[in-house]
Amino acid sequence: MLDGDCGTGNPVDDCWRCDPSWADNRQRLADCAVGFGRDAAGGKNGRNYVVTDPGDADDPSDPAPGTLRYGLVQEGPLWITFARDMTIRPKHDLLVGSHKTVDGRGAAVVVGDGGACLVIHNASHVIVHGITVRGCKPARTASGGMSDGDGITVFRATDVWVDHCTLENCTDGLIDVTDASTRVTLSNNLLRNHDKAVLLGHSDDFTDDKDMKVTVAFNRFGPGLVQRMPRCRFGLFHVINNDYISWQIYAIGGSASPTILSHGNRFLAGEAKEVTKRDGRTAESEWSTWTWISEGDMLLNGAFFRSSGSPGPDVNTPSFAKSVSLVSAMTDSVGVLSCKEGSLC
């Protein structure tokens, strides 16, 4: 927890959590992101909107004022907060529009719980902060098909930041970033009790993902995870100062020649086990040229990282990255925070 001067060493948290009056200037949060999603403005400089109704309309094109869905589809920047603790069970995927912030601080907000969840599709400048996403189920889409039941889907979207969320027990993935999405940061999240945690990249044939850039920083993976922490394709991925609490199959994996920098992560294996996994259909003669770099990682209980390739010009350690010795302190408060107005969060 925070001490008197908020010195966690976590650059995101130390940007705003030191202020006991955080609730009077919620939009300060938009200046605190790091990594590839650092320019995600969310609803900065927009109106404030308070969710008062946890319900959802049968017709997603006609949401009721006061609901989360109504706020997410409004034109222009909007900073969305919640009047009280609530569980929202969407009947259809919650489509998040551009320039929106979903800010759960000060309330215990659960999205999913047997309903659909969040989809950031063809949108930009989105911040999702401080909510629990769990129990997400497939839902019928506007085209008549069914969604996969992911927790948070980022699809053809740019400048996205997901921070201090707790995600678990969804039908498919917890977070998917696909279909030429880029400039995304996933930070300070708690991901647990799930099989396929984080997918970055649509498929081995979808070459538009070559421009994807995603930062995965200060998260805690586990307990109860199996694989994809994350699984990467084509793009450039910075995996920085995360805490890995065991894994069943692998922690970091990929195919289609992704570039991965793993810096200052703590990998705690339950037994002697590889951190990394290349797609089994790819010959070693090919994957050995992929740039997968482990830099200053802590490998415990027999964990081992199989590096490949060479650093090259794209693999530069970001300025916010810290020593692995600080990971425990920096990830002490991952997931949804307990925030009360008038006191440190």
Assess whether pLDDT exceeds 70 at residue 1: no
Q: Which residues contact 283 (CB under 8 A, 6 or more apart)?
A: none
Shortest CA distance to 256 belongs to which of 311, 209, 325? 209
Quick check: is 311 in a domain?
A: yes
Average pLDDT value for the chain: 95
Per-residue pLDDT reduced to its tens digit, 214-226 = 999 999 999 999 9
Quick check: is 339 in a domain?
A: no
Shortest CA distance to 116 belongs to which of 86, 143, 146, 161? 146
Q: Which pLDDT does position 195 carry in this prediction?
A: 96
- As a whole-number percent, the residues of the chain with pLDDT over 90 amount to 89
Q: How many CA atoms lie within 13 A of 268 on its CB side?
A: 15
Structural domains in the chain (count)? 1
Quick check: is 77 in a domain?
A: yes
CA distances to 146, 165, 235, 322 from 218, in Å: 33, 12, 20, 10
CATH of the domain at 50: 2.160.20.10
Per-residue pLDDT reduced to its tens digit, 285-323 = 999 999 999 999 999 999 999 999 988 777 899 999 999
Q: Which pLDDT does position 260 carry in this prediction?
A: 98
Helices assigned H by DSSP within 61-214: 68-72
- Mean pLDDT confidence for 53-64: 94
CA distances to 67, 204, 219, 291, 303 from 275, in Å: 42, 21, 16, 15, 6
Active site residue 228: yes
Looking at residue 14, the DSSP 8-state letter turns out to be H
Q: What is the 3-state secondary structure (H, E, C) of 42-63?
A: CCCCCEEEEECECCCCCCCCCC
Quick check: is 247 in a domain?
A: yes
The single residue of 26, 69, 105, 228 carrying the catalytic annotation is 228
Assess whether pLDDT exceeds 50 at residue 142: yes
Task: Yes or no: say if 80 and 103 are a contact pair by the CB < 8 Å rule.
Answer: yes
Q: Which pLDDT does position 220 carry in this prediction?
A: 98
Q: What is the extent of the structural domain holding 308?
A: 13-330
Task: Yes or no: say if 230 and 217 are a contact pair by the CB < 8 Å rule.
Answer: no
For 331, the token pair is: 């990830």
Task: Yes or no: say if 176 and 150 are a contact pair by the CB < 8 Å rule.
Answer: yes
- Mean pLDDT confidence for 136-149: 83
Q: Which pLDDT does position 146 carry in this prediction?
A: 87
Quick check: is 147 in a domain?
A: yes
How does residue 83 score in pLDDT terms, banded at 50, 70 and 90?
very high
Helices assigned H by DSSP within the chain: 13-16, 68-72, 284-287, 327-330
Quick check: is 169 in a domain?
A: yes
Quick check: is 272 in a domain?
A: yes
Per-residue pLDDT reduced to its tens digit, 64-81 = 999 999 999 999 999 999
Q: Which pLDDT does position 2 carry in this prediction?
A: 38
For 338, the token pair is: 């307990």
Q: Which pLDDT does position 280 carry in this prediction?
A: 76
Q: How many CA atoms lie within 13 A of 235 on its CB side?
A: 29
How does residue 28 score in pLDDT terms, banded at 50, 70 and 90?
very high
Give 195-254 as a DSSP string. EE-EEESS-TT-GGGGG-EEEEES-EE-SSEEE-SSEEESSEEEEES-EEE--SS-SEEE
